[in-house]
Amino acid sequence: MKPSSHYLHCHGFDLHVTTWGDASQPAVIAWHGLARTGRDFDWLAEQLCNDYHVICPDTIGRGLSQWARDPKEDYSFVTYTRIAWDMLQALNVHQAHWIGTSMGGALGLVCAAGLVQPGFKARIRSLLLNDIAPEISVAAVDRIKAYAGQPPAFDTVPELEAFFRAAYAPFGALTDAQWRHLSESSTRRLPDGRVTPHYDPHITQQFFREVPEYPMWTEYDTLDMPVMVMRGANSDLISPDTIQTMRTRGPGAKGLLRTEEIAGCGHAPALNVPAQWQLVRDFLKAAS
């Protein structure tokens, strides 16, 4: 099944969304990581689309969505939550499962908590956090800020692909075809003809806010829906100690938390292989 491409006006921004499957099926929102795009979920969405309507946005400043007018304010979870709410309204989605990788998982946590947009809490049926948690490593954030804030430029797409292969090695084992797909869906051409990753370098302004957005334990403690955390075994973003704390509070204390460690991956598993697809399927089925 092939995806459909949509451009929606959400909270004052033009938002690009890729959707898979029939809109009459249960909805799954799949939200990508900081410097990525919704096309990262193509492999997973293709596996789910016979049973679910899979909705994969490009966050503003990424992919084919509009860039921010005020990066310091617009690149924030409050703004992203407002955009996500309008997206649900535009697509007539009343309830959805949420799968989020890294930043996309943190956004799902904020939305599901309902503290920014109260109506959201009743709309999120389950939350899958792909290598993200209410507390993250400062050292890992510094690493991400360093590479994401200064994206390189190359003369050719194969050179950019080589950069992606090195930068995203922690995603796990991707085939050559998957690396090529990731590269071609993550490339934009500069005025001088060179190519660079398909995002606004100012997206890292999110980490320089006067009031930090992390930690998110307050949001986590409000959750009362099924939650699964998939942690890359070699992740430098979330620690095993944080996972253990999650088991003792919020949905963990209510018996609603499932945790899985993904061998051979760091930050963050690419959700591109059958074993990971099955974990997602099993979680969605149990949460339905």
Lookup: tokens for 34: 């900081």
Write the pLDDT tens digit of every residue in 247-262: 999 999 999 999 999 9
Residues 6+ apart with CB under 8 A from 54: 19, 20, 21, 27, 28, 30, 41, 44, 45, 48
pLDDT at 143: 84
pLDDT at 182: 98
Write the pLDDT tens digit of every residue in 23-41: 999 999 999 999 999 999 9
Place 210 in a pLDDT band, splitting at 50, 70 and 90: confident
Mean pLDDT of the chain: 97
Q: Do residues 63 and 37 make contact, with C-beta atoms less than 8 angstroms apart?
A: yes
- 95-120 in b/e form (b: 16+ CB < 10 A) is ebbbbbbbbbbbbbbbbbbbbbbeeb
pLDDT at 201: 96
Between CA 133 and CA 79 the distance in angstroms is 20
Eight-class DSSP state of 29 = E
| Encoded amino acid at 53, one letter | H
Burial of 29 (0-12, 13-18, 19+ CB in 10 A): buried
Question: Does residue 18 come out as left (phi exceeding 0), alpha (psi in the -120 to 50 range) or beta?
Answer: beta
Write the pLDDT tens digit of every residue in 133-175: 999 998 888 888 888 889 999 999 999 999 999 999 999 999 9
Question: Per-domain residue ranges for the chain?
Answer: 4-139+208-287
Strand residue runs (E) in 194-265: 195-197, 227-232, 257-262
pLDDT at 145: 80
Residues 6+ apart with CB under 8 A from 149: 201, 204
Class of domain 4-139+208-287 (CATH, top level): alpha beta
pTM attached to this predicted model:
0.98
Write the pLDDT tens digit of every residue in 36-91: 999 999 999 999 999 999 999 999 999 999 999 999 999 999 999 999 999 999 99
